[in-house]
Amino acid sequence: MTNLFIDIFNNSKEFGGLLNGIKQKQSPIVVNGLSGSAIAHISFALNNKLKNQMIIITHSELEAKKILYDLKFFDEENVYYFPPKEIVFYDVYAHSKEIIKERLKAIDSIVKGEKCIIVTTIEAVLEKLIPHEDWALYRQILKVGDIINVDDFIKSLLNMGYERVEIVEASGQFSLRGGIIDFYSSVDDNPYRIELFDNEIDSIRIFDVESQISQEKVQKIELKPAKEILIDDNRINCGIKNIKNDFKEFIKKLKGDSKKKLEERINEIISKLENNIYFEGIDSFINYFMEKTETLIDYIDDKALVLIHESSRVKERAENFQKDFRKRFEMFFEKGEVLPGQIDVIEDYDKLIKDNEKNIFIVINSLPKRINDFMPKQIISFPMQDMSSYHGKLNLLIEDLKGWKYRGYKVVILSGTQEKGKNLEREFRNDGIECACINNLDKTILSGQTFIMNGNLSSGFIYNTFKFAVVTENEIYGVSKRIKRKKKKYKEGRKIKSFRDLSVGDYVVHENHGIGKYIGIEQLKVEGVKKDYLKIQYSGGDYLYVPIDQMDLVQKYIGGEDRVPKINKLGGNEWKKTKAKVKSAIEDMAKDLLKLYAVRQSTKGHAFSPDTEWQREFENLFPYEETPDQLKCIEEIKRDMEKSIPMDRLLCGDVGYGKTEVAIRAAFKAVMDGKQVAFLVPTTILAQQHFNTLSQRLSSFPIKVEMLSRFRSKAQQNRIIEDLGLGMIDIIVGTHRLLSKDVKFKDLGLLIVDEEQRFGVKHKEALKHLRKNVDVLTLTATPIPRTLHMSLIGIRDMSVIEDPPEDRYPVETYVTQYNEGMVREAILRELERGGQVYFVYNRVRDIDKMAFRIKELVPEAKVEYAHGQMSERKLENIMLDFLNKEFDVLVCTTIIETGLDIGNVNTMIIYDADKMGLSQLYQLRGRVGRSNRIAYCYLTYQKDKILSETAEKRLKAIKEFTELGSGFKIAMKDLEIRGAGNLLGSQQHGHMASIGYDLYCKLLEDTIKTLKGEEVEEVIETNIDITVNAYISDEYINNEKQKLEIYKKIASIRSKEDAYDVEEEVEDRFGTLPESVYNLISIAYIKVLAQKLKINSISETKEGIKFEFDTRFKIDPFVIAKATEEFGRKIIFNCSSKPFFIYRHQNKGLQYRKLQEIKEVLEKIRGFHKN
């Protein structure tokens, strides 16, 4: 098949020589002269021509990522990254799975025999792995119709490293519910559900992990391992024996504390192994389980190529890695925390390279140099040169294009985006250069031709001998846009209700009875009929039994992190008073908001002009692909700015989600209309950061940006204020200094306020004065609840960025006991790669002592400390020094939780993480991982400390939050409450806490609808008392949390379609519906019909089924006439002051038929209403 990037080598004698050398097994081959994206280009071409597997080994993570990014341009599907993993010698309670998933995907591709390209680092290659034959042994193909033994299958899943759970929420997990087995491989994008008929596979379905609902059927799947270390019973027994023997010998040499410590640790490890419990850190015992080990190079087939990029640097890195590893091991060894055999987990570099005779090694160096490790059989020099940069000067590029055309060069220009490609094509044609935009690589390029295409490489290059040039966006504009990769499939899924997280002992809110404590589900038998009830305890020891069909009146209490609410008394007026007080406060606030909105709508402001050509040019220079939410928010803000009504919009988005870029585009638009922009921020450091960002982004345009803060001298401040008044400054960034009386603008058009809630009352008053008649954009990093967002539509303009940025590397998170060895190791590893570290210690009184201890522990590091009780100036200077890389480790309190964005800090250690709230940990962790390096976060708790029940609960939540990656639903709830408080004011925050978040949002929504003149439907509470069994048995759903979740879904039914959906989902997840569950769903739907007909009670009497109407509503005589005509003597109406009708049903024995008849009667009567 034609591919212009491969066909280009057809005339290259160098490439031909390289191919021949490989075919003749002339290993090793040295290739000189290649650098930048040309490495990926050659690798792709070799892989395509030879159809062999390939491993590219680099000296650094950064270099590996660059080659990976370039290779993905040429081949999206066939390229994998094999990152190094951390070998831990300390106990880890939980660990995020992102790196393991990437490694498993690479291993899976190799073992399957795919002709893949694996990009990796030398550290990852040196790590020992289990023999590759084991992977083949554990892989299984499962097909519909296969017969399986469930016990053997479960045993097999456990041996493959899967963890048994109640509900599958993350990769590496499986669950068994009756005849349904769910499992989620670390290699696959989706989890699978197998439904058995006896022991035969009846169906295999892909399901959505969020909604738990099946998406599509498949005929066969491949079951793959979930972990790297695969051990069966024989290997476990062998491992235990070897560990015990090594321990017995080594313990003789230890004394005192070290002896006791190692004894405890080894006993715990042996106990876990005996109970088949997989533990983090098992990798360091690999030699105790395996007779032989291998490395990644042993996994590839005999014909595979091994490319070593910059061999001398790879060797240097390998030697340093081995030396550091030995030092790390010795530190743990001396303390008696490891066994001697644990050192043997990495391979020797010389042995790995020199002893390999099966593969062909190709060494790629940018410059010719002497190589001591290899005696090259062939040396090839590629006459390649890096593309020079044009820095946005298209005239220089056009000159070069004309020269290349004249000399018969083939030229490919990578424009990044389609829009940019079209712009370039227009510019070139205007200058008489023939060119064509192409969409894919299957084209033939002729001498003198120029092609423009989407996509990008990290750098351009020229091959002079066969006249081929590639120019990337980076060389043209000076920036390179990261092109969006394949979009992850995020299925809509149903909104997770807070009931999935409800546990016994949690606080709940009943709309009519108030706050109580959830005791559990209790099954009661009344008049021979079984039903389940929610049992809630109230003040004074009273209990309320809530029928399952009334569960929609109950919500989990959420009122802010760790807030313990006041439990109400049953039957008193206290709850009614609380609710009335909150409702009144909500009404007052909503009226104020509506009044403010109305005033704003009647004010005349400046209508900004549509986007200019410069605006489009400026936006094209953004070096990343915008997320869909970013584009939507930019569009909403521009639309507001182009109206004559002054804009007042709130922009919400998580830390690092790209709010600043959205604000900068609005600022640019304002400046294009000759208006000035004020960018107001709460701290001097933030002012400096925003000033740096703006200056950098606007450097190619004649726009004057200045900063007004304490970092400017008095004389500088006076000059800036004078220039501002004269209109010589376009954009001013500043702290509250901007609100001083001496600051005057010539023509302010846009005010951007970052984190307004962090300004004091006095400053907020000054702000009100400044914002009159100008467009205002307020930024906040605290998420706003979606329910609140929807309620406030029409009275508060809001834009929300919910999409995380593309290619953001996940943070490797560890939950572990505090261990000084681990701290030293983590800090040193970060320093080795030129990075910095946050050590979060939230106790001001002895933070200086902790900083001193870290200095003692890591004398190689420069350490400083900072906390919120320091003088503002001192704190600013420390933070500025850290920003400027003056020191390595910042020991600090949680002051770093908001605001600062330091890309070079990629390791965070949090002391006593069990004392912090999840939302706080979530925001702290967001401070690292903001570059293209893997970031590390260690959440530590005190060793051997007896944890309080709250701390233990929180640690369990942290474990889920860490392992599930996205499992921060609780954190998000806490943050949303904080966001709601920021948006609506601290007083409302208190009201929210007194009645719970969900009920508050419901009242707010109803209040706003009423004030806007919209109809708020009054819901009739229908009591249903029919003698049918309606419950979920333990045999059908054993797990109480899942049972609650399904009860909640049933109680949330609002239509016939909902009833069908719930029926389908329950059957999909738990198997064929028992009659008692089918009855439950029917009752929920009957309740919906009854509420619409204003029926408040359905009961069973001797005469038949009695339907009582709410006395506040009148019965339509037409409906009575039609019902009598339809049902004849089966129906009797009573139209007294308490109207009702009785229906004489036929099916007195069969429960489900009785309910079916009731449904049909109500549906028909509802139909008469519509007609």
pLDDT at 556: 84
- Among positive and negative, which fits the CA dihedral 511, 517, 519, 525? negative
Query: Which CATH number goes with the domain that contains 1109?
Result: 3.90.1150.50
Checking if the pLDDT of 496 tops 50, the result is: no
In which band, very low, low, confident or very high, does the pLDDT at 895 lie, cut at 50, 70 and 90? confident
311 and 213 inside one domain: no
15 and 77 inside one domain: yes
596 and 739 inside one domain: yes
More confident residue, 668 or 334: 668
pLDDT, tens digit, for every residue of 431-455?
Answer: 889 999 998 888 888 999 999 998 8
pLDDT, tens digit, for every residue of 138-176?
Answer: 888 999 999 999 999 999 998 888 989 888 988 889 999
- 130-134, 255-259, 637-641, 1055-1059: range with lowest mean pLDDT: 255-259
Q: In which residue are the tokens 């660990």 written?
A: 95
Q: What is the DSSP string of 825-836?
A: HHHHHHHHTT-E
Tell me what the mean pLDDT of segment 389-398 comes to. 84
Return the bridge partners of 837, or none.
Answer: 889, 907
- 456-460, 768-772, 1045-1049: range with lowest mean pLDDT: 768-772
Return the bridge partners of 856, or none.
Answer: none
Query: Which CATH number goes with the domain that contains 740?
Result: 3.40.50.300
pLDDT at 949: 62
pLDDT at 450: 93
Q: Tell me the CA distances in angstroms from 149 to 179, 196, 201, one per residue in order.
A: 12, 11, 10
More confident residue, 50 or 280: 50
pLDDT at 439: 86
More confident residue, 552 or 887: 887
In terms of C-beta density within 10 A (0-12 exposed, 13-18 middle, 19 or more buried), how is residue 769 classed?
Answer: exposed
Residues 6+ apart with CB under 8 A from 8: 410, 445, 463, 466, 468
Q: Tell me the CA distances in angstroms from 961 to 97, 911, 954, one per residue in order.
A: 12, 17, 10
pLDDT, tens digit, for every residue of 918-945?
Answer: 767 877 887 888 777 788 999 898 876 6
- How many whole angstroms separate alpha carbon 439 and alpha carbon 812? 37
Q: What is the DSSP string of 268-311?
A: HHHHHHHTT---BTGGGGHHHH-SS-B-HHHHS-TT-EEEEESH
pLDDT, tens digit, for every residue of 53-77?
Answer: 999 999 998 899 999 999 999 998 8
The reply to whether 189 falls in a domain is: yes
609 and 757 inside one domain: yes
345 and 428 inside one domain: no
- 30-34, 409-413, 1136-1140: range with lowest mean pLDDT: 1136-1140
Tell me what the mean pLDDT of segment 292-302 comes to. 92
In which band, very low, low, confident or very high, does the pLDDT at 588 lie, cut at 50, 70 and 90? confident
pLDDT, tens digit, for every residue of 786-825?
Answer: 656 666 666 778 888 877 666 566 678 888 889 888 899 8
The reply to whether 1033 falls in a domain is: no
The reply to whether 711 falls in a domain is: yes
The reply to whether 999 falls in a domain is: no
pLDDT at 637: 95
699 and 783 inside one domain: yes
pLDDT at 145: 94
Instruction: Give 539's DSSP letter.
Output: B
464 and 612 inside one domain: no
Look at residues 919, 943, 964 and tell me which one is the last residue of a structural domain. 964
779 and 850 inside one domain: no
Checking if the pLDDT of 403 tops 80, the result is: yes
Look at residues 170, 194, 223 and tell me which one is the last residue of a structural domain. 223
pLDDT at 265: 85
pLDDT at 497: 41
Classify 72 as helix, strand or coil. helix
Token pair for residue 282? Answer: 């098992």
pLDDT, tens digit, for every residue of 977-1009?
Answer: 566 666 666 667 677 778 887 788 788 888 888
Instruction: Give 455's DSSP letter.
Output: B
396 C-beta neighbours (distance < 10 Å), count: 14
Q: In which residue are the tokens 């104020």 written?
A: 592
Cis amide linkage into residue 783, ω under 30° from 0? no
- How many whole angstroms separate alpha carbon 1086 and alpha carbon 1155? 8
Query: Which CATH number goes with the domain that contains 439?
Result: 3.40.50.11140
Q: What is the DSSP string of 15-37?
A: HHHHHHHHHTT--SEEEES--TT
Say how many domains are in the chain.
6
- How many whole angstroms separate alpha carbon 123 and alpha carbon 829? 13
684 and 797 inside one domain: yes
pLDDT, tens digit, for every residue of 506-533?
Answer: 889 999 999 999 998 888 887 778 888 9
- How many whole angstroms separate alpha carbon 352 and alpha carbon 1143? 85
More confident residue, 1060 or 976: 1060
35 and 165 inside one domain: no
In which band, very low, low, confident or very high, does the pLDDT at 314 lie, cut at 50, 70 and 90? very high
Checking if the pLDDT of 323 tops 50, the result is: yes
Look at residues 345, 363, 381 and tell me which one is the last residue of a structural domain. 381
What mean pLDDT, rounded, does the chain reach?
85
pLDDT at 492: 30
pLDDT at 625: 76
> For residue 474, which phi and psi values (nearest 5 degrees)?
-60, -45
- 380-389, 396-405, 720-729, 793-802: range with lowest mean pLDDT: 793-802
Classify 79 as helix, strand or coil. strand
The reply to whether 744 falls in a domain is: yes
In which band, very low, low, confident or very high, does the pLDDT at 41 lie, cut at 50, 70 and 90? very high
The reply to whether 558 falls in a domain is: no
pLDDT at 495: 32
Return the bridge partners of 799, or none.
Answer: 651
State percent of the chain over pLDDT 70: 90
Checking if the pLDDT of 491 tops 60, the result is: no
- How many whole angstroms separate alpha carbon 1121 and alpha carbon 1135? 13
- How many whole angstroms separate alpha carbon 77 and alpha carbon 953? 42
Checking if the pLDDT of 8 tops 50, the result is: yes
Checking if the pLDDT of 282 tops 50, the result is: yes
Residues 6+ apart with CB under 8 A from 307: 43, 54, 55, 56, 57, 361, 362, 363, 364
The reply to whether 186 falls in a domain is: yes
- How many whole angstroms separate alpha carbon 1000 and alpha carbon 582? 8
- 97-101, 317-321, 906-910, 1071-1075: range with lowest mean pLDDT: 97-101
743 and 846 inside one domain: no
Residues 6+ apart with CB under 8 A from 107: 82, 129, 135, 228, 296, 299
pTM for the full predicted model: 0.80
The reply to whether 519 falls in a domain is: no
For the sheet with 1105-1109, list strands across it. 1023-1025, 1095-1100, 1105-1109, 1140-1143, 1131-1134
State percent of the chain over pLDDT 90: 41
- Domain extent, residue 694, equals 589-801
Residues 6+ apart with CB under 8 A from 255: none
pLDDT at 486: 43
pLDDT at 957: 65
pLDDT at 500: 45
pLDDT at 493: 29
Checking if the pLDDT of 907 tops 50, the result is: yes
309 and 356 inside one domain: yes
